[in-house]
Amino acid sequence: MATPPKTRPQARDLTSGPIGRTLLLFALPTLGANVLQSLNGSINAIWIGRLLGESALAATSNANLVMFLMFSLGFGFGMAATILVGQSMGARDIVGARRAFGTAMGLFTIVSVVIAVAGWLLAPHLLRLLSTPPAAQAFALAYLRVIFLALPPMFLGLMISMALRGTGDSITPFWFMILNVAIDAGLNPFFIRGFGPLPPLGIAGSAMTTLIANYVVLIGVTIYIYARNLPIRLRGSEWRFLLPDPALLRVIVVKGLPMGLQMLVMSFSALVMIGLVNRAGVETTAAYGVAQQLWTYVQMPAMAIGAAVSAMAAQNIGARRWDRVGRITTVGVAVNVAMTAAILLVIFVSDHATMALFVGRGSPAIPIAIHIQKIASWSFILFGITLVLFATVRANGAVFAPLLILAFGVFVARIAFAWALMPRFGTEVLWWSFPFGSSITAVMAVLYYRYGNWRARGLVGATIEAEAAQDQASADGEAGGRLNPAA
C-alpha cells in the first residue's frame, strides 16, 4: 500500500497485528508516565518537607486530597470520552472521534473553570471541613488556591492524553509527562526559596511550578498535535464540536460518573482501612504506611495494562472485531500477572533493604511490614486480573456492574470481613482481608465477563449510526476525513 499523504491524520491501528507486541508497546509508555507522575509527587514532597518543614508537608497532603477527589470525577468522564474516541477510531470514523473529543474538551473547559473559581473562593471552608491542623492552615490555603488555578490546564491536559491513547498513541503523553516532571520538579526549589530577582514564594511557589508546568505542557501538546496533524485536531467547521453535543454529553456523564465513583470507592475504603489499622498502634500504622508505599508501584502494571486493554478493546469493538477482543483480554491478563509477579518477587527478595529506605534499618516497623507483605501483597495479582476484565467490559460502555462489584468487594468482602473478625483474631485479620476481598472481587469479575450482557451495544453503537449521515457528509468534503483501513 502506498504511504499516506503527510496531510492525512496519523493514528495507530489497534485492530490488526500481533496482540501481545501491540499491547506491550502501548502499555510500557503508559506505565512510564504513571511512574513519572508518582515520582514527581514524591520529589515535590521532598522539596517542601526539606525546605519548609512538616507543617507545609501536612498542608500539601490536605490540599492534594481535595484535588484527588476532583480528579476522580474528571478521570471518569475522561475515560468515557476516551472509549468513545477509541470505538470511533476502530469504526474508521475520524469525524465521530473528533466530535467526541470536542464535546469532552468543551465539557472539561467549562467544568474546570467553574471549579477553579469556586475553589479559590471556598478553599478556607474546604480546609476547615477536612479538619486541617491549625499549624498547616495558612500553608494549605496558599498552596490550594494556586493549585485550583492550575486545574484547567490539568484537566484539559488529562483529557488530551486520554484521547490520544484512544487513538492508539501512548508515546506522545509519555514525552509530555517527562516535560511536565522536568519543569515542575526542577523549578520547585527556586520558586520556594527564591533565585536572583525571583522572591521566595514558599509553599505557593511549589504550587506555582505545578501551574507553570501544566500550562507549558498544554500549549506544547496542542502545538504538537497540529504540527503532526494528529487525528484529534479540530479545524474549520469542526470547531463547533467544542460546543458539547447533548447526545454525546449524556453518554460521557452517564458512563463517566460510575467510573469516577470507582476511584472514590477505593479511596474511601482506604480511609476506613487506615482507621482500623490505627487501632493497632504507631508501629503497625508505620508498617502499613511502608507497605502502601510499595503497593503504589505494585499496582502500576495493572493500571497501565488496563489502560492498554481498554484502548485496544474499544477500537476492536468499534471495528466489530470481537474475536480480537477476547484475545486482547486473555493476553492482557497474562501480561499483567507476569509483570506484577515479577515486581512482587523483587520486593520479597529485597524486602528489608527496601523498607529500610522509609523507616531506617533498626525500625521495629520493618518486621511487621514484611509480615503484611507476605500475606497481602500477592492479592494485587488478583486485583490486576479484575482491572483488566473491567477495562474490557467498560470499553463497551458497561460501567455500573464493575462499580457494584468493586463496591461489594471492598466494603463487604474486605472491610466488613475485617470489622467483624478483628475483635476475635486481632490485627492479623486486617492483612488477610486483602486476599479475601480480592478473591471475591476477581471471581465476580470473571463471572460477569463470562456470562454478563456487557457485549450488547453499549457506548457508541446507536450514537454513531444516528449521526452517520451527517458525519459522512462532513468526511466526504475533507481530505482524510475517514481513516483508511490498515493494510
Segment 181-208, tens digit of pLDDT: 999 989 988 888 888 787 888 888 888 9
263 and 233 together in one domain: no
Cell numbers placing 130: 477536612
User: Over 80: is that where the pLDDT of 280 sits?
Assistant: no
pLDDT tens, residue by residue, 125-184: 877 776 666 776 787 788 888 888 998 999 899 899 989 988 889 899 999 999 999 999
| One domain, residues 240 and 263 | no
**Position 7 confidence tier, pLDDT thresholds 50, 70, 90:** very low
Supply the mean pLDDT for the chain.
Answer: 82
Do 317 and 217 belong together in one domain? no
In a domain, 1, yes or no: no
Q: Are residues 220 and 353 in the same domain?
A: no
Q: What pLDDT is attached to residue 448?
A: 96
Q: Go through the chain and tell me how many residues it has.
A: 487
Shared-domain flag, residues 239 and 264: no
Residues 441 and 341 in one domain: yes
Q: Is the pLDDT of residue 467 over 70?
A: no
Please give the pLDDT value at position 241. Answer: 92
Shared domain for 208 and 300, answered yes or no, is no
Per-residue pLDDT reduced to its tens digit, 381-434: 999 999 999 999 998 888 899 999 999 998 888 888 888 888 888 888 989 999
pTM of the model: 0.78
Same domain, 76 and 140: yes
pLDDT at 61: 64
Its domain, for residue 162, covers: 24-244
CB-based contacts of 362, cutoff 8 Å, min separation 6:
none
Q: Which of 102-111, 113-122, 358-367, 376-385 has the lowest mean pLDDT?
A: 358-367
CA angle 474, 479, 480 (to 5 degrees): 90
Confidence grade of residue 324 (pLDDT, cut at 50, 70, 90): very high
Residues β-bridged to residue 198: 195
> Do 370 and 400 sit in the same domain of this protein?
yes
